[in-house]
Amino acid sequence: MTAAPDLADLMRRVAAQDRAAFAELYRATSAKLFAVVSRILPGGDASEVVQEAYVKIWQRASDFDAAKGSPLAWMTTIARNRALDEARRTKPVSLEDMPEGFELAGEFIDPLATRDRKQAYAALLRCLNALEPERREMIMLAYYRGASREALATRFNAPVGTVKTWLRRSLAQLKDCLSS
Amino acid sequence: MSLPDDDEGLAAEYVLGTLNANERAAVAARRLREPELDAAISAWEARLAPLSEAAPPVWPPPELYARIEARLGAANPVVDLTSVLSARLARWRATAAGAGVLAAALAAALGVVVAARPSVPHQFVAVLQKGPDEPAFAMTVDVDKQEFTVRPVAAKPPEGKSYELWIIAPKLGAPRSLGVIDANAVSPERRLSAYDPSVVREATYAVTLEPQGGSPNGAPSGAPVFVGKLIPVGP
């Protein structure tokens, strides 16, 4: 087992246009970014979107601010935003073939994760588990699968406006829980 | 919390991903000039990021890195061209007397960028436009590499429709599709290897409005909405 690379250090080198560091950053993170994107665009253009995300990461690495979050979170946000734009632009995501319920991993086993990140995950998990199961499932389907309000309305047999209200209440509850 | 509840909810839903295309675009535009909204979005990204970090890995196709690396060289010196073009557009609208002037001005802007890379020959651009002051897409073509990209300047297809790009040349007979193009993002490099370089240089490039996903039968469904010809900008 090799030591996990220091992503923050790699980001600094990538910002200085170091190609070797970029290759290492890609090796260390591409399975995460691809996982996030391919769940939102199943059978779609996940490769294209991930490719665009890494080009952007290369160009914008100097914008990364370690004080604002982890390098992986920054990279994932770039890829996820692009995937969501793509999902909203093309046909609506069908939730027909989605699994019933979303079980969250009890803990996060990842050699890249620092203690800090594991704690952040544990806190989020605790707060998600405090939501009603159906509301939690909505949040999970939206975050992981890119489900729109309309798709959730169909799946949960509720008007779109009601789904919006539920989502906003759940998110507000989540925010309160995380800040407590 | 100085942000109204509604904007706080909007920021949260933006990050969660449940907004529709128009709402997403509106939030993305607002955050550029509203620091409080931007901060709320960043805070939500940080709150929910552990979900992405904890997701089980899925490995991308092995050839993906080579494709990314191939784009780095080309992407490196290119400043955000779309924003350069958009920013200058308003000024040109006021001053440009005709299509030629505007196209030349856009080409000059592109030329500055391309000229920073003297090692890349045979660079061309085409400004695809409706009228003299309505450029919609800027196309860059590398005849040597037989590749092109399309950059949106100011075009949005109506709901449920797609823009499709065509190459039109007497030698080819009917217009040939170069694929559906994205009005929101720079296209990835696409191949032109099916066409002779002389045809690529002389052709007219046209964009039509098609049903979502592109023409159903491989032929344009209507008259071009935007057209342009290539202008050399590289050595």
Considering only residues B122 and B200, tell me which one the structure prediction assigns the higher pLDDT: B200
The stretch B43-51 carries a mean pLDDT of 92
pLDDT score of B46 more than 60: yes
Residues of A in contact with B9 (CB under 8 A): 168, 171-172
Interface-testing mutation among A37, A54, A104, with chain B (most B C-beta atoms within 10 A): A54
Q: Is A120 on the interface with B (CB under 8 A)?
A: yes
The interface predicted TM-score of the complex, written ipTM, equals 0.90
Residues whose CB is less than 8 angstroms from the CB of residue B96 and which lie 6 or more positions away in sequence, other chains included: B102, B105, B132, B133
Q: Which of A18-22, A85-89, A175-179 bottoms out in mean pLDDT, i.e. has the lowest? A: A85-89
Angle, helix B35-54 to helix A133-145, in steps of 10 degrees: 100
Using 50, 70 and 90 to split pLDDT, how confident is the model at B133? low
Letter for the amino acid at B91? Answer: R
Considering only residues B81 and B141, tell me which one the structure prediction assigns the higher pLDDT: B141
| Domain with residues B123-234, CATH architecture | Sandwich (2.60)
Q: Is B62 on the interface with A (CB under 8 A)?
A: no
- Nearest chain B residue to A179 by CA: give it: B47
The stretch A52-77 carries a mean pLDDT of 90
Cα angle at A36 between A86 and A48, to 5 degrees?
45
Per-residue pLDDT, B94: 41
Angle, helix B99-115 to helix B81-95, in steps of 10 degrees: 150
Residues of A in contact with B71 (CB under 8 A): 51, 55
Q: Which ranges of B5-116 does DSSP label H, i.e. alpha helix?
A: 5-16, 21-33, 35-54, 64-75, 81-95, 99-115
Q: Inspect the interface and report whether the beta carbons of A143 and B60 lie closer than 8 Å.
A: no
Q: Give the long-range contacts of residues B6-10, CB within 8 A, separation 24 or more.
A: B7/B36, B7/B37, B7/B40, B8/A172, B8/B40, B9/A168, B9/A171, B9/A172, B10/B37
Most confident listed range (A2-6, B71-75, B89-93): B71-75
Q: Give the long-range contacts of residues A13-18, CB within 8 A, separation 24 or more.
A: A14/A57, A14/A58, A14/A61, A15/A61, A15/A62, A15/A64, A17/A58, A17/B76
Most confident listed range (A3-7, A105-109, A135-139, B51-55): A135-139
Q: Inspect the interface and report whether the beta carbons of A124 and B60 lie closer than 8 Å.
A: no
Q: Is B75 on the interface with A (CB under 8 A)?
A: yes
Q: Inspect the interface and report whether the beta carbons of B24 and A110 lie closer than 8 Å.
A: no
Q: Is A148 on the interface with B (CB under 8 A)?
A: yes
Q: Is A174 on the interface with B (CB under 8 A)?
A: yes
Q: Quick check: A154 and A95 in contact, CB under 8 A?
A: yes
Chain B: closest CA distance from residue A97 (Å): 19
The DSSP output letter for B98 is S
Rounded CA gap, A132 and B142, in Å? Answer: 56
Burial class for B199, CB neighbours closer than 10 Å (0-12, 13-18, 19+): middle
* Residue A25 C-alpha from the chain's centroid: 18
What are the boundaries of each domain within chain B?
A: 5-53, 64-95, 123-234
Q: Which of B8, B9, B72 sits opposite A55 (nearest CB)?
A: B72
pLDDT score of A158 more than 80: yes
Q: Inspect the interface and report whether the beta carbons of A51 and B50 lie closer than 8 Å.
A: no
Length in residues, chain B: 235
Q: Inspect the interface and report whether the beta carbons of A167 and B76 lie closer than 8 Å.
A: no
Considering only residues A93 and B195, tell me which one the structure prediction assigns the higher pLDDT: B195
pLDDT one-digit tens code per residue, B179-191:
888 777 767 777 8
The stretch B57-83 carries a mean pLDDT of 71
- Helix (H) / strand (E) containing A151: helix A149-155
Q: Which of B17, B42, B58 sits opposite A35 (nearest CB)?
A: B58
Residues of B in contact with A47 (CB under 8 A): 60-61, 64, 67
Q: Inspect the interface and report whether the beta carbons of B53 and A85 lie closer than 8 Å.
A: no
The predicted model scores a pTM of 0.60
- Nearest chain B residue to A16 by CA: give it: B76
- How many other CB atoms are found less than 10 A from the CB of residue A101? 11
Q: Is B9 on the interface with A (CB under 8 A)?
A: yes
Most confident listed range (A37-51, B11-25, B85-99): B11-25
Residues of A in contact with B53 (CB under 8 A): 32, 70, 72-73, 76, 108, 110, 113, 117, 121
Which tokens in the block code for residue A91? 């046909």
Using 50, 70 and 90 to split pLDDT, how confident is the model at A94? low
pLDDT score of A97 more than 60: no
Per-residue pLDDT, A138: 94
Residues of A in contact with B19 (CB under 8 A): 88, 148-149
Q: Inspect the interface and report whether the beta carbons of A36 and B52 lie closer than 8 Å.
A: yes
Q: Inspect the interface and report whether the beta carbons of B18 and A72 lie closer than 8 Å.
A: no
Q: Inspect the interface and report whether the beta carbons of A31 and B57 lie closer than 8 Å.
A: yes
Most confident listed range (A46-50, B77-81, B114-118, B212-216): A46-50
CA A25, A27, A33, A37 torsion: positive or negative?
Answer: positive
